[in-house]
């Protein structure tokens, strides 16, 4: 209960701060399910993206963040209250982050994932990785594609301060991983997710 209160307080504090500086538009956020496991698969242009995606639901979200962001104890505490957990990029994919994502999804939670793996430098959509497909099939979670624009103007790369901007998040129709007789093609499903995100531009 206490942790839920802290999460809600942090989330709405961030929302109020962003509303002071920016105009936020959430389109078709009702596509996020009210219950059950779900992956919010989002393009990535700013550190603000997990927050913006999370504003679309009253449910608690969870998301993977770069491990270096947790080095500052106070900021790390704040990130964890917002539902973040670290990803160690050294040596490639982080098995512990993947396992934690699966545990959360299998227990009916929401996880925000950035299929591109890192922020886009020019705002263009990059190639998606197979991880979102793997997590969807192994957890039986639906995938809600999301396209965010404007967050890169509100908090540009290497900037520490917010700037006035209009931020728009478009939530697409859920994608459901369906199993056939053959082994699931994670990369093929990830491509479908990326195509859905691109269609929301």
Specify the pTM.
Answer: 0.91
**Where do the structural domains in the chain lie, given as residue ranges?**
2-199
Half-sphere exposure of 145 (CA within 13 A, CB side): 22
Q: Please, are residues 26 and 169 in contact by the beta-carbon 8 Å criterion? A: yes
pLDDT, residue 52, reads 95
Largest distance between two CA atoms of the chain: 52
Q: What is the pLDDT of residue 91?
A: 45
How confident is the model at residue 173, as a pLDDT?
97
**Per-residue pLDDT tens digits for 10-38:** 889 999 999 999 999 999 999 999 999 99
- pLDDT < 70 regions, the chain: 1-2, 89-93, 181
Q: Using alpha carbons only, how large is the chain's radius of gyration in Å?
A: 16
CATH class of the domain at 2-199 = alpha beta
């Amino acid at each position: 209960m206490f942790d839920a209160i802290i999460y809600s307080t942090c989330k709405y504090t961030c929302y109020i701060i962003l509303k002071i500086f920016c105009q936020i538009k959430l389109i078709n956020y009702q596509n996020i399910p009210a219950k059950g496991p779900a992956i919010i698969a989002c393009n990535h242009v700013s550190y603000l993206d997990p927050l913006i995606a999370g504003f679309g639901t009253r449910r608690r979200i969870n998301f993977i963040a770069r491990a270096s962001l947790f080095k500052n104890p106070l900021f790390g505490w704040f990130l964890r209250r917002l539902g973040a957990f670290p990803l160690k990029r050294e040596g490639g994919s982080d098995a512990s982050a993947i396992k934690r994502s699966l545990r959360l999804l299998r227990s009916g939670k929401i996880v925000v994932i950035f299929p591109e793996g890192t922020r886009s430098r020019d705002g263009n959509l990059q190639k998606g990785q197979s991880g979102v497909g793997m997590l969807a099939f192994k957890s039986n979670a639906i995938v809600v594609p999301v396209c965010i624009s404007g967050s890169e103007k509100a908090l540009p790369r290497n900037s520490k301060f917010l700037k006035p901007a209009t931020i728009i998040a478009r939530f697409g129709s859920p994608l459901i991983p369906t199993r056939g007789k053959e082994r699931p093609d994670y990369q093929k499903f990830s491509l479908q997710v990326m195509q859905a995100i691109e269609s929301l531009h």
